[in-house]
A and B are shown apart, each in its own frame.
Chain A
Amino acid sequence: MIDTTPVFHPEPEVLLAYSAGSLDEANSVLTATHLALCPRCRREVARLDAIGGILTAQLKPTELAPDALAAVLARLDEAPSPTDDQVAAAVDDETRHWVPEPLRRYLGTSLSALPWKRRGFAIHELPLSLGSGSVRATLIRTGGGAALPEHTHEGVETTLVLRGAFRDEGGRFARGDVATATSADNHRPVAEPDDECLCFSVIDGPLRLTGRFGRLLNPFIRI
């Protein structure tokens, strides 16, 4: 793999929300996984974290309970309680190669062992139990040259390319690139012919398929 760095990045406000801690979990997974592939955005987030640190340091201090320090000091020698941190699952080399952390641990197993659902010719989808409310997260795997059904959405669809590349009206998106589509975009991504394409998408708001083929698929793609 050639370590080319991404050309398309999350919107600046998304990086700000990630740093501020206000971004939902599904979009945070997408953003953090992009960060693994993007030194430029890592620098930007380091800067944003520094802003958060400075602004917090500028807040007027609030008095703590009188015994607060004593309570913490008494716990310093305590053994840390076991955390419920997700344990990284054993995965195969293919998965380790194409899916960076933190997304990898959300899969829980190797790409080939996941219960993919067929969504049309050469298109497979894997809904992830991640996200709440109107936010849905999904992995999409297409064969080289496959076209996704033409679709539009009421909210925002953010897609991170993990393997291969696709083209749509916005350009060519390859590994590490983030494509952001809003309700104004009615787009039809097509995977490049030379390799399969693996993407992680977070959709905020219901997805509607357009076009003749798409309308037929609509009931199936609902998660």
Chain B
Amino acid sequence: MEQHRPPETTAACHEDLLEAIAIRGDKAAFAELFGHFAPRLKSYLLRLGADAATAEEVVQESMLTVWRKAASFDRRQAGAGTWIFTIARNKRIDRLRRERRPEYDPSDPALIPSQPEEADQTVWSAQVEARMRVAIDNLPPEQSDLIRRAYFEELSHREIAERSGLPLGTVKSRIRLAMQRLRERIDGLD
């Protein structure tokens, strides 16, 4: 296990902290995660139109869920930042949109499992995420802008097209191009 340690200590650290919470209820580890992620989650919620008090509340609820669900975190499937993002996203849907967040159940007998070789591909690591970060930074601005708007403005591609004055087809093809580039970047080097 030791020689497997990724070079970026900060990224590896977050996953380690989550596991420390899961294994021994490590409150110091939680406080460290909180210090890093909570202020960013607040920005995320504010960007999506929450008022400051609600944002603060949703951040607290999200971090409490991080504490409670730490045992279900699996670093082979997602990085810590990704996992925490999905928790905050779901809390936001719950609180601000007052809707449920439907998700598939990985233990559902009706689920069609991944092929073993596909499962290998999905093994996530700090390195994959670091490459992905670089790939996002290297997207042409018109593509990365659309991706950011999709995550931070709660706009459908139709609404993005309407507001930006771009034809819907252009919005769609830019999003698809961006996704394809990122996919190549990740799968190609995996």
Contact = CB atoms under 8 A, between A and B. Distances in A.
Given A22-B150, A61-B40, A102-B104, A13 B114 contact: no
Contacts, number: 204
Nearest to B153: A22
Nearest to A54: B133
Interface of A is mostly: helix
A56 interface: yes
Contacts of A54: 81-82, 129, 132-133, 136
A25 B40 CA distance: 26
A96 B110 contact: yes
Dominant secondary structure of chain B at its interface with chain A:
helix
A100 interface: yes
Contact of A62 (B34, B42, B102, B183): B42
B59 A21 contact: no
B18 interface: no
A56 B47 CA distance: 10
Nearest to B66: A72
A68 B64 CA distance: 12
Given A50-B124, A96-B110, A21 B60 contact: no
A49 interface: yes
Interface of A: 3, 5, 11-13, 16-17, 20-25, 28-29, 32-33, 35-39, 42-44, 46-57, 59-65, 68-69, 71-73, 75-76, 80, 86, 96-102, 104, 106, 176
